[in-house]
Amino acid sequence: MSQVTLYHNPRCSKSRETYQLLRDKGIEPQVREYLKDIPSADELRELLAALGISARELLRTKEAEYMELGLNDTTLSDAAIIEAMVQCPKLIERPIAIRDGRARIGRPPESVLEIL
């Protein structure tokens, strides 16, 4: 089986649950702590394509920065939203599992099983 990469925040319970679920299935994912190893705008565009969603759908809307940065403005372009996520990576929804050009957000954690 090809490598699974997990965009992971060890402080997040859903991220920890997803990591453990993968391990329980015999998969040791390559962990990317995206708050420390921040993805570039290009990486986020690739991730969005793999997920098949818009940049807005990848935003964590309950973070204080969402309102502070005016990200509730529905006229913002994907490029503007992606740039906000690069500048403040905690706005990126998590966890995200990636394998062979396909990705799933682990909410619920079991959804990542779709790409295995």
Structure tokens at 75: 């006229």
* 88 noted as active-site residue: no
Nearest of 24, 37, 42, 33 to residue 110 by alpha carbon: 24
Q: Which of 2, 5, 9, 12 is catalytic?
A: 12
Show the DSSP H helices in 1-116 as ranges: 13-24, 41-51, 64-68, 78-87
90, 61 contact by CB (below 8 A)? no
Nearest of 36, 5, 3 to residue 106 by alpha carbon: 5
| Residues with catalytic roles | 12
